[in-house]
């Protein structure tokens, strides 16, 4: 079992990583001083309930008072309704400030359960037990949130867990499109901060099927190290943490325009990263070997062009409405080189022209764009 220490200004906590390590959860809870009889509330989703919940409960039932609350699977569960229902369950089960919430699932469960923990009785401890590849990103750093109909992740907090217990054996049941989605964030971490890791990825992960065993664990470890180093420098997103938004300015807008769930988060981010590379080459007048990126992304099955029917003016308007835009100017994360990210404000005219060019040129090169796969 590997252990990585996640450090922020407000807290330090361990992340345990390995295959089959869930068996050690009772020991880990003891190490963290959760004594016998502590009330635990496992928040999980329907898919994980069916696959693993009875096993997880059985592991803990001898020592702890275990309760569960199951949300529906998928992004829609990051809602006020589910948030409220979790709080109701916590109150009915009599959780107090010494109780512990276990967020057992992907980013949706992690974000929701973390926000429940952040606000229940002004904050109680919680532990992240991630089960998706994407959650290597969401389970580290303490950003927790729910969605509002007017915007994703609009209601939330910065609230760090007591620990993260990442058993990669859970990832074996992950559908391919979810694996690809999480892999986009792994690539993101390499591109913004770690050139060597990027080269390793190109060499070692030839196809999604390579994401297993030691290689998968290495991807997760390196991704977490980048995320942790950024969060250590800037917990509350006043500076470099914004680099983690690489690929997300356009990515979030695509998800929103197509309707959540139509395109996975990672697919949208991958396309957003390609656009950011396209923009970087033109803004800095450098070559990042865009064509190689585009064909590399294609080998995993990421989308590589903006669906034809999407209106560029609308995309721009939404990009300006992003939480990270300031005074209506879009601030994109660009690459000065592989491993070197920078924030760049871009005026409307420049961005509109680049979006048009990207949609036109890449659309022509993308054989899949004869019809839209997401609508």
Ligand X SMILES: NC(=O)c1ccc[n+]([C@@H]2O[C@H](COP(=O)([O-])OP(=O)(O)OC[C@H]3O[C@@H](n4cnc5c(N)ncnc54)[C@H](O)[C@@H]3O)[C@@H](O)[C@H]2O)c1
Write each residue from 181 to 200 as x if it is in contact with ligand X (CB under 6 A), else as -, in one continuous string: x-------------------
Residues 6 or more apart whose CB falls under 8 angstroms from that of 257 comprise: 310, 314, 315, 318
β-pair type (143-148, 100-105): unpaired
Token digits of residue 159: 């609230």
What are the two backbone dihedrals, phi and then psi, of residue 17, each rounded to the nearest 5 degrees? -135, 135
Q: Whose Cβ is closer to ligand X: residue 105's or residue 307's?
A: 105
Q: Whose Cβ is closer to ligand X: residue 271's or residue 312's?
A: 271
HSE-up (13 A, CA, CB side) for residue 308: 12
Query: Which range touches ligand X (CB under 6 A), out of 4-12, 25-33, 42-50, 310-318?
Result: 42-50
Token digits of residue 203: 């060499």
Handedness of CA 262, 265, 271, 272 (dihedral sign): positive
Q: Whose Cβ is closer to ligand X: residue 251's or residue 307's?
A: 251
Figure out which of the listed residues 78, 136, 188, 193 binds ligand X, where binding follows CB under 6 A: 78
Cα separation, 301 vs 205, in Å, equals 13
Q: Whose Cβ is closer to ligand X: residue 54's or residue 311's?
A: 54
Residues of span 136-175 touching ligand X by CB under 6 A:
137-138, 141, 143, 153, 170-171, 173-174
49 forms part of the interface with ligand X (CB under 6 A): no
Q: Whose Cβ is closer to ligand X: residue 46's or residue 215's?
A: 46
Cα separation, 23 vs 16, in Å, equals 12
Figure out which of the listed residues 128, 132, 359, 369 binds ligand X, where binding follows CB under 6 A: 132
Q: Provide the minimum distance between the beta carbon of 171 and ligand X in the complex, in angstroms, as a whole number.
A: 6
Write each residue from 236 to 275 as x if it is in contact with ligand X (CB under 6 A), else as -, in one continuous string: -----------------------------x----------
223 forms part of the interface with ligand X (CB under 6 A): no
DSSP 50: I
Q: Provide the minimum distance between the beta carbon of 107 and ligand X in the complex, in angstroms, as a whole number.
A: 2
Token digits of residue 285: 């007048």
Residues of span 93-122 touching ligand X by CB under 6 A:
105-109, 111
Q: Whose Cβ is closer to ligand X: residue 8's or residue 181's?
A: 181
47 forms part of the interface with ligand X (CB under 6 A): yes
Q: Whose Cβ is closer to ligand X: residue 156's or residue 307's?
A: 156
What are the two backbone dihedrals, phi and then psi, of residue 13, each rounded to the nearest 5 degrees? -150, 155
Q: Is 155 exposed, middle or buried (0-12, 13-18, 19+ CB in 10 A)?
A: middle
In Å, the largest CA–CA distance within the chain is: 63
DSSP 245: G
5 strand-pairing partners: 14
What does the binding site for ligand X look like in residue numbers (CB under 6 A)?
45, 47-48, 51, 73-75, 78, 105-109, 111, 131-132, 134-135, 137-138, 141, 143, 153, 170-171, 173-174, 178, 181, 265
């Amino acid at each position: 079992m590997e252990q990585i220490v996640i450090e922020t200004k407000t807290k330090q906590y361990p992340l345990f990583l390995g295959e089959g390590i869930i068996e050690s959860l009772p020991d880990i809870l003891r190490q963290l001083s959760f004594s016998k009889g502590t009330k635990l509330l496992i928040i999980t989703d329907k898919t994980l309930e069916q696959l693993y919940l009875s096993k997880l409960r059985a592991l803990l039932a001898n020592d702890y008072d275990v309760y569960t609350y199951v949300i529906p699977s998928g992004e829609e569960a990051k809602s006020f309704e589910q948030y409220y229902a979790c709080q109701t369950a916590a109150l009915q089960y009599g959780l107090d400030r010494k109780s512990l919430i276990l967020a057992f699932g992907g980013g949706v469960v992690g974000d929701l359960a973390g926000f429940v923990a952040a606000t229940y009785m002004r904050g109680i401890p919680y532990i992240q037990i991630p089960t998706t590849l994407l959650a290597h990103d969401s389970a580290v750093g303490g950003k927790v949130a729910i969605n509002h109909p007017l915007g994703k992740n609009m209601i939330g907090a910065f609230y760090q867990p007591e620990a993260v217990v990442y058993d990669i054996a859970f990832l074996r049941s992950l559908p391919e499109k979810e694996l690809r989605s999480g892999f986009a964030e792994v690539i993101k971490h390499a591109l913004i901060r770690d050139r060597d890791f990027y080269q390793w990825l190109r060499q070692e992960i030839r196809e999604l099927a390579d994401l297993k065993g030691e290689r998968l664990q290495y991807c997760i470890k390196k991704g977490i190290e980048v995320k942790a180093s950024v969060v250590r420098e800037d917990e509350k997103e006043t500076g470099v943490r914004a680099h983690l938004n690489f690929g997300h300015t356009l990515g979030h807008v695509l998800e929103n325009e197509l309707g959540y769930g139509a395109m996975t988060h990672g697919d949208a981010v991958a396309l957003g990263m390609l656009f950011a590379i396209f923009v970087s080459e033109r803004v800095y007048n450098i070559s990042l070997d865009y064509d190689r990126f585009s064909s590399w992304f294609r080998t995993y099955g990421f989308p590589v062009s903006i669906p034809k029917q999407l209106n560029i003016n609308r995309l721009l308007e939404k990009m300006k409405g992003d939480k990270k835009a300031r005074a209506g100017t879009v601030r994109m994360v660009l690459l000065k080189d592989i491993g070197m990210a920078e924030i760049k404000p871009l005026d409307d005219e420049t961005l509109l022209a680049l979006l048009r060019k990207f949609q036109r040129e890449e659309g022509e090169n993308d054989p899949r764009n004869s019809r839209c796969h997401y609508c």
